C-alpha cells in the first residue's frame, strides 16, 4: 500500500482555497499511485481557528468541505482534519477530529485525546477530549490514527491522564498515522524526531507524521513531515518552510532491517525548551548557525504569509542605520520583493552622518525605494507648542520620545496615504526591558524581530551577508544607539546585550527564578534590575502588534502575564 503525506499551507476560514488545495493534492497522489493520502490537523478550516469555532456557520462550512472532499475519494483513501460535532449533551460541543474518507463517504473518525492548553495553544477552550479509541481499517490494514499532541503523551510526568496509543495498541494496529499542526520554534524540529522515534520504539510500528506549513499571523508552521520505519530508520522527511508531497510504499518500508539500538530521550514537560544551563554557552546556542538559518526562513515565511493572506502587498518601515531596521529591511525585501518595501530615513539633529549614510547604502545595496524626511522641523514645532507647559524643565526622556513619536506619525501617515503596512523593527531584548516608545518606534502592523534577541539580530545580519555584503559592515560593528540625545548608546540604559540576553533567556524561555540565575554566576543586582524591567513593562507589550514567533516562549499569545502584578516588580 502506498501512502502519501500532503504537507500544505492553509488559510484560516478560507474554505474554498483550502478545499481546492486538498483536491489538487489528492489528484497528484492518485497520479503517483497512492492508495491513501493524508493531510494535516484541521486542514479543512486552517489551524488555529480559535473563536471561529464558536460560530455554527463556520462548522457548517467545515462539514460542507468534508462532503466535497469525500466525493473524490471513490478510488483513493483520504485522511483530513476537521472539527466534528459532539452528539452527547455532556462536554464541549466539538471534537478535533481526523476523518477517513473512502468510496465517496466517511469510513471512520478519530478524535483528539490530548488537548494542549499552554503557550500558544488553547484547545480545551473549544474541544472535548476523546473518550473511546478504535483503530480504523483501510485495505486490510489497521491504522492507529492520532492527532498532533496525542503522540507527545509519553513522558514519565505526562500532561494528560490518557495516552491514546496505549489504548490503540491492544487492537494490534499495523501502522501509526499522526496528523499535526505543530508550530515552529528553533529547537522543536529535533524534539519532533525524538518523540516520533520514541513512539516507534515503544509500539514497534511504522509512523507516518504529516505537519502543515505556513504562517498564521504570529505562528509559523515549518512542515518537516516524517516517515519512519518500525526499524527506527528515517525513510522520508518533508521540506521545511515549503509545501511538499511525500509518497512511501508501506510494504517496502516494512522490509527495512532493524536499525542499531540507540538511546531515545523520552519527553518531559520541558523538552520543548532547550536546557542550556551554562551561562557561557547561552549566546553560542542562541546564535548557532542552524538556529539562525531556521529563524531566517521562519521570518521570511511569516512576513510573506501575513501579507499574502491579508491581501497586502507593500510595506514600509523606518530605516535608522541601525542593526534592527537593517535586518528587518533585508528580510522584508527578500520576502516581499525589493520594489514592495519602502524605507523612510528620518534623521534628527542627533543623528550621526554615518547612520544616514549607512541607511542609504543599505537601500542602495538592496535596491528598494527610500525617502529622507528630516524630523527637526516637526520636533521643534512640538517643543514650541509644549513650551508653555514644559517651561524651563531640562531635556529628558519626554523630548526623546517626542522624536520617536514624530517618526511614528510620519511613517503611519505615509502608510495611510499609500496603503503600506508598517513593519516594526523592535527586537526581543528591547521589548523585554521596555526599551521602546509606545506609539513611536513600537508602532507597526507586524513585528518581525520581536521574538529575536539582540545577539541573534547580529547573527541574522551576518547570515544575510553570508555571500556578499548587503548590510554595511559599519552597521554591524558600531555600538547600538537610539540617537535621541548627543552621544547616546543603548548601554547607557541597558546592560551589554551579551549579558542581558543570557538573563532574559533564562527568565523568559526557561522560567528560572532570580536565585537560579544568580547561581549561574550573573551579578545579583543586574539580575534583579533586569527582571524588574521585564515585569514592569508588561503594559507596553500588551499594546504591541503581532510578533512572528520563532522561540519556545514568545511575547504575545504564548506568554500571558498580568499587567498589574507585584511579582519581581
Beta-carbon contacts of residue 130 (< 8 Å; ≥ 6 apart): 95, 110, 111, 112, 113, 164
Helix axes 497-504, 454-464, angle to 10 degrees: 110
> Residue 392 corresponds to which cell in the numbers above?
524651563
Residue with C-alpha cell 511525500?
246
Residue with C-alpha cell 464558536?
54
Sign of CA dihedral 557, 294, 424, 45: negative
Rounded Cα distance, 280 and 278, in Å? 5
Buried b (16+ CB within 10 A) or exposed e, 340-376: bbbbbbbbbebbeeebbebbbbbbebbebebeebebe
Told to judge if 112 belongs to the known catalytic residues of this protein, a careful annotator would answer yes
566 is in an annotated binding site: no
Rounded Cα distance, 253 and 364, in Å? 53
Residue with C-alpha cell 547612520?
355
324 is in an annotated binding site: yes
Beta-carbon contacts of residue 542 (< 8 Å; ≥ 6 apart): 563
318 is in an annotated binding site: yes
Of 41, 218, 483, 509, which is the active-site residue? Answer: 41
For the beta sheet containing 244-249, the strands, ordered from the edge strand earlier in sequence to the opposite edge, are 105-111, 94-102, 77-85, 36-38, 2-7, 244-249
Listed residue (529, 287, 561, 490) closest to 518, CA to CA = 529
Listed residue (262, 324, 276, 309) closest to 453, CA to CA = 324
Q: Would you list the DSSP string of 178-202? A: EEE--B--TTTHHHHHHHHHHHHHH
425 is in an annotated binding site: yes
128 is in an annotated binding site: no
Q: Would you list the DSSP string of 320-361? A: -SSHHHHHHHHHHHHHH-GGGEEEEE---TTS-HHHHHHHHH
283 is in an annotated binding site: no
319 is in an annotated binding site: yes
3-state secondary structure (DSSP) of residue 21? helix
320 is in an annotated binding site: yes
Element (H, E) at 71: none
Of 45, 62, 112, 483, which is the active-site residue? Answer: 112
Rounded Cα distance, 307 and 301, in Å? 10
225 is in an annotated binding site: no
Rounded Cα distance, 154 and 471, in Å? 46
Cβ-contact 443, 424 below 8 angstroms:
yes
Residue 307 — φ and ψ, nearest 5°? -70, -45
Listed residue (29, 22, 26, 23) closest to 248, CA to CA = 29
325 is in an annotated binding site: yes
Of 148, 163, 212, 333, which is the active-site residue? Answer: 148
Told to judge if 41 belongs to the known catalytic residues of this protein, a careful annotator would answer yes
* Binding site feature residues for deamido-NAD(+): 401, 430, 540
Active site residues: 41, 112, 148
* Binding site feature residues: 118, 182, 318-325, 401, 425, 430, 540
Amino acid at each position: 500500500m502506498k501512502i502519501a503525506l500532503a504537507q500544505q499551507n492553509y488559510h484560516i476560514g478560507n474554505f474554498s482555497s483550502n478545499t481546492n488545495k486538498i483536491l489538487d493534492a489528492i489528484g497528484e497522489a492518485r497520479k503517483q499511485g497512492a492508495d491513501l493520502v493524508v493531510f494535516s490537523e484541521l486542514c479543512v478550516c486552517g489551524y488555529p481557528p480559535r473563536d471561529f469555532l464558536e460560530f455554527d456557520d463556520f462548522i457548517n462550512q467545515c462539514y460542507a468541505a468534508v462532503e466535497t472532499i469525500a466525493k473524490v475519494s471513490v478510488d483513493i483513501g483520504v485522511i483530513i482534519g476537521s472539527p466534528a460535532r459532539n452528539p452527547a449533551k455532556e462536554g464541549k460541543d466539538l471534537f478535533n477530529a481526523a476523518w477517513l474518507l473512502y468510496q465517496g463517504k466517511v469510513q471512520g473518525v478519530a478524535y483528539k485525546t490530548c488537548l494542549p492548553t499552554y503557550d500558544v495553544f488553547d484547545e480545551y477552550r473549544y474541544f472535548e477530549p476523546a473518550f473511546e479509541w478504535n483503530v480504523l481499517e483501510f485495505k486490510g490494514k489497521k491504522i492507529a490514527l492520532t492527532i498532533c499532541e496525542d503522540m507527545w503523551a509519553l513522558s514519565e510526568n505526562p500532561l494528560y491522564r490518557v495516552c491514546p496509543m496505549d489504548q490503540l495498541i491492544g487492537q494490534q494496529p499495523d501502522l501509526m498515522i499522526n496528523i499535526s499542526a505543530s508550530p515552529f520554534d528553533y529547537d522543536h524540529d529535533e524534539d519532533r524526531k525524538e518523540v516520533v522515534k520514541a513512539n516507534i520504539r515503544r509500539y514497534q510500528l511504522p509512523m507516518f507524521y504529516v505537519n502543515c506549513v505556513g504562517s498564521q499571523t504570529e505562528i509559523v508552521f515549518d512542515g518537516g513531515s516524517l516517515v519512519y520505519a518500525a526499524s527506527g530508520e528515517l525513510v522520508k522527511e518533508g521540506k521545511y518552510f515549503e509545501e511538499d508531497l511525500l509518497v512511501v510504499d508501506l510494504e517496502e518500508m516494512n522490509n527495512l532491517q532493524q536499525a542499531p539500538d540507540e538511546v531515545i530521550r523520552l519527553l518531559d514537560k520541558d523538552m520543548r525548551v532547550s536546557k542550556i544551563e551554562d551561562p557561557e554557552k547561552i549566546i553560542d546556542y542562541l546564535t548557532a548557525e542552524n538556529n539562525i538559518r531556521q529563524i531566517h526562513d521562519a521570518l521570511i515565511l511569516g512576513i510573506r504569509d501575513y501579507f499574502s493572506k491579508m491581501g497586502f502587498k507593500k510595506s514600509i518601515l523606518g530605516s535608522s542605520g541601525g542593526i534592527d531596521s537593517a535586518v528587518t529591511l533585508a528580510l522584508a525585501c527578500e520576502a516581499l520583493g525589493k520594489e514592495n518595501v519602502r524605507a523612510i530615513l528620518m534623521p534628527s539633529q542627533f543623528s550621526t552622518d554615518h547612520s544616514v549614510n549607512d541607511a542609504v547604502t543599505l537601500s542602495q545595496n538592496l535596491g528598494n525605494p527610500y525617502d529622507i524626511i528630516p524630523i527637526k522641523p516637526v520636533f521643534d514645532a512640538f517643543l514650541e507648542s509644549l513650551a508653555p507647559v514644559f517651561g524651563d524643565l531640562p531635556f529628558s526622556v519626554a523630548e526623546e520620545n517626542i522624536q520617536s513619536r514624530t517618526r511614528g506619525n510620519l511613517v503611519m501617515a505615509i502608510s495611510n496615504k499609500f496603503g503600506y503596512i508598517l513593519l516594526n523593527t523592535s527586537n526581543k531584548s528591547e521589548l523585554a526591558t521596555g526599551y521602546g516608545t509606545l506609539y513611536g518606534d513600537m508602532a507597526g502592523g507586524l513585528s518581525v524581530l520581536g521574538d529575536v534577541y539582540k545577539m541573534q539580530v547580529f547573527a541574522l545580519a551576518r547570515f544575510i551577508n553570508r555571500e556578499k555584503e548587503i548590510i554595511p559592515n559599519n552597521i554591524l560593528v558600531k555600538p547600538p544607539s537610539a540617537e535621541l540625545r548627543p552621544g547616546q548608546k543603548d548601554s547607557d540604559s541597558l546592560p551589554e546585550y551579551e549579558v542581558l540576553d543570557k538573563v532574559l533567556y533564562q527568565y523568559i524561555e526557561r522560567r528560572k527564578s532570580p536565585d537560579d540565575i544568580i547561581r549561574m554566576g550573573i551579578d545579583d543586582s543586574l539580575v534583579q534590575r533586569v527582571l524588574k524591567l521585564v515585569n514592569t513593562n508588561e503594559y507596553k507589550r500588551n499594546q504591541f502588534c503581532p510578533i512572528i514567533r520563532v522561540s519556545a516562549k514568545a511575547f504575545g499569545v504564548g506568554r500571558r502575564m498580568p499587567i498589574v502584578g507585584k511579582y519581581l516588580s
